[in-house]
Structure 1
Amino acid sequence: MRRLWAAVLCGYLALGATLQELPGYLTGTFAAGPAITGLTVGAAFAATAVTRPFAGRAGDAGLARLVVMTGGALTAVAALGHLLAGNVVVLLVARLVMGAGEGALFSAALPWVLSRAPAGLRGRVTGWFGLSMWGGLACGPLLAVGFHELGGSTAVWWLVLALPLASTALVATTPRATGERTRLRPTSWRDLVPRGVGATGTCLGFAAYGYGTLTALLVLHLTVDGIGGENLGLAVFSVAFLVVRAAGSPLVDRLGGVRVAQAVLVVEAAGLVLLATAATSAVALAGAAVTGAGLSLIFPSTATVTLGRTGALRPGVAVGAITSCWDLGILAAGPLGGLVADRYGYRPAFLVAAGVALAAFALTATLTVPGRTGRRSGVSR
């Protein structure tokens, strides 16, 4: 399991590095505006959203090792595309391939892990194993800043190529899972989107809109609006995210997924408002930290509620489906946030994201588990 954790971490460090490097690279090399930048940054998450349910279903069927290795290989191919891209179109294709690889990497590994976790510990196991993905997304930008200082964008793209190669090697040396392999039937809609994931997936997707806005526009906002701290914004967000995720994951099992989701969505909205109204780098960095703290526990809390609503019969498919909603939220935030920034400025784009986070908070009122008690999922156990 430690090797799987490290393999997913390496893959998502590569993706996280591209989130830091791409905005400046696109504007400096290809003279792209905010809308094109947002679309290109978010394009990876379109392929990720499509891939996750299929990868999760294959993982449930005992094919996790093959799918995770394929994900690492696709990510490496995409990294080579970032290095060699001569125009935005090639870069967009590379982003789509990277998204497919990242989706396969995590979503096939997670059911492998959950199959060995006791039901009462799934919240913290999901949260802690999820640190491999979120930790990569959070720390990748820090690596990108360091490598850019050493050798510019070319050094960053070589780093992005090396990391998924390491990921593939780690998976190749991981012992096979002991569970039985089952034959995959022809795919139907309910094989990919089980009943009970709609409300939690929508809630997670709305929360992700704020993350997508931050990753696509924060560096440009701090630079263009003269606020400062553009090299530290994603790093501060990352540290806050990781600290709260590592320390707070047990709270999901202790307090319940709904209560935790409600609390962190309010925190996320507050952080985005701070980013929208910041006049100094100190306030902007505080906003990034608050947003990171808010987003840190939304995935394990909604995943725990989802497993309760679906009966956890197919954890890979169920969690893969809601994680696809996260990807779709990020995907929507890139171009939509870019359009708002193009027309009205960066500050209104962050205010819109705060409003979407509050809409996610309102949706938590619908998170119930069918059954005799009718009580909210994750509140009473």
Structure 2
Amino acid sequence: MTTTAHPATTSCTALAGIGPLFPVVFCGYLALGLPLPALALQVHDRLGFSAVAVGWVVGIQSLATVLTRGFAGRLTDTRGPKLGALLGLPLAAVAGLLYLASEAVAGRPGLSLALLLAGRLALGPAESLFLTGTMAWGIARLGPARTGRVMAWQGIGIFGALAVGAPLGLAVMERYGFAAVAAAAALVPFLGLLVALAIAPEAGIPGQRLPFRRVIALIWRQGVGLGLAGVPFAALAAFVSLDYAAHGWTGAGLALSGFGAGYIAMRVFFAHWPDRFGGARVAAASLAVEAIGQAVLWAAPNAGVALVGASLTGIGFSLVFPALGVEATRRVPPQSRGLAVGGFVAFLDLAIGLTGPLAGFLAAGFGFPSVFLAGGAACLLAILTLVGQGGAGRQG
């Protein structure tokens, strides 16, 4: 990243500065969102594995991501953020190719599952690189004073892609099969790569950098709050399609779209709230709404009510990331901002990675709705975590 603000910071709006990066983020996460609900159906219905296996296939990607956040952050801080995007997007395409290979050997379920897991493992560092890269790239273009805006608009790209990708992936699978979903997941990242290549790079910031463990020590409270807030999203992504199928409902893709729509609406209209009311306060209120959404999903008697619960979950989760993210990045020097972004998001990766298999055990023992009850409990625990953050909100 540069040592001074990008010219766009003083002459253009925040949207103009973030705009060129938006399709990069969108395409990267579309490669994640397209196969997400299709993977659950492929593993459970086509290959015949249990809900626990579904949880591992979905969750192992985040466990792989968390192990590479430190590397991605150091690369971003030293070599500039553009390189992260240029390395991560092609690696995301490799994941799609492994999905495609898995479908080719679907008659051998064990091998097919192994290839799906390999694809998810490849997607872990891919996401780590292009998310950390684009996030730090946006901060470099707009300046650190607009970190919250950067995180808010990057989040619109992320969950907009997930909201579009989920129903699109299910529709493609129903019409053309899992192979078509895998092929699309392999092609989409190259569209983002073409855009990234055309955007001017930002250099790394010179100076002494903190060790990754020191960065984590400075931001762990914010990270834990984010991680617990991410549990409902992980539960929703992994099991909502199976929950709908178990109830005999249609429109599982709409539930993820409802989550994304609620998430995006909050980012568009209320992204300034963390700066105005304080990060911890906004995060706590958001977590309460998220917990209510999970409770509605758990008790939903029909698909319409479930859609309301999913939408409330998205509304609640939306502002947790920028509210706590601003506080996390302010706790480190500029030379370690990429590491802070990577470390902060690593808590979310870890939570999502653990939620998949643990929720799978819950679903196997108590039914699919139980994973949403657990998601609501995680939100309440996150609120308790924020109580101990003292002046975090006042700094935001």
* Length-normalised TM-score, structure 1: 0.91
Pairwise CA distance, 1:152: 2.2
* Correspondence list, 1:180-329, <5 A: 180=204, 182=206, 188-190=211-213, 193-310=215-332, 313-329=335-351
* Correspondence list, 1:53-64, <5 A: 53-64=70-81
1:39 is aligned, of 47, 52, 56, to: 56
Counterpart residue type for residue 378 of structure 1: G
Which stretch shifts more, 138-147 or 337-346? 138-147
Counterpart residue type for residue 122 of structure 1: T
Matching of residue 20 in structure 1 with residue 37 in structure 2? yes
Whole-angstrom distance in 2 between the partners of 1:323 and 1:339? 25
**Residues 49-86 of structure 1 deviation map (CA, whole Å, 9 limit, x = unaligned):** 12223212221223322221110111011110011113
Pairwise CA distance, 1:250: 1.4
1:364 is aligned, of 375, 381, 386, to: 386
**Residues 209-251 of structure 1 deviation map (CA, whole Å, 9 limit, x = unaligned):** 1111111111111111334432321122121111112222111
SS at match of 1:197: helix
Whole-angstrom distance in 2 between the partners of 1:287 and 1:116? 37
**Residues 69-125 of structure 1 deviation map (CA, whole Å, 9 limit, x = unaligned):** 110111011110011113101110110101211110010221122124344432122
SS at match of 1:310: coil
Look up the match of 2:142: 117
Counterparts in 2 of 1:101 and 1:336: CA distance versus 1, 3 Å = same
Look up the match of 1:371: none
Matching of residue 92 in structure 1 with residue 130 in structure 2? no
1:340 is aligned, of 334, 357, 362, to: 362
Whole-angstrom distance in 2 between the partners of 1:315 and 1:8? 19
Look up the match of 2:168: 143
Counterparts in 2 of 1:119 and 1:103: CA distance versus 1, 3 Å = closer
Whole-angstrom distance in 1 between the partners of 2:83 and 2:101? 28
Pairwise CA distance, 1:311: 5.2
Kept in 2: contact 1:43–1:331 (CA 8 A):
yes
SS at match of 1:232: helix
1:167 is aligned, of 186, 192, 207, to: 192
Look up the match of 2:394: 379
Counterparts in 2 of 1:232 and 1:189: CA distance versus 1, 3 Å = closer
SS at match of 1:314: helix
Look up the match of 1:372: none
Matching of residue 102 in structure 1 with residue 127 in structure 2? yes
Counterparts in 2 of 1:309 and 1:183: CA distance versus 1, 3 Å = closer
Pairwise CA distance, 1:275: 0.6
Which stretch shifts more, 305-314 or 328-337? 305-314
SS at match of 2:61: helix
Matching of residue 331 in structure 1 with residue 346 in structure 2? no
Whole-angstrom distance in 2 between the partners of 1:320 and 1:297? 18
Look up the match of 1:81: 98
* Length-normalised TM-score, structure 2: 0.88
Counterparts in 2 of 1:231 and 1:345: CA distance versus 1, 3 Å = same
Whole-angstrom distance in 1 between the partners of 2:165 and 2:318? 16
Please provide the CA RMSD for this pair: 2.0
Counterpart residue type for residue 168 of structure 1: L
Counterparts in 2 of 1:307 and 1:176: CA distance versus 1, 3 Å = closer
Whole-angstrom distance in 2 between the partners of 1:97 and 1:349? 26
Pairwise CA distance, 1:313: 5.0
Pairwise CA distance, 1:358: 0.4
SS at match of 2:253: coil
Kept in 1: contact 2:205–2:335 (CA 8 A):
no
**Residues 269-323 of structure 1 deviation map (CA, whole Å, 9 limit, x = unaligned):** 1000111111111111110111111111111111012123335552211121110
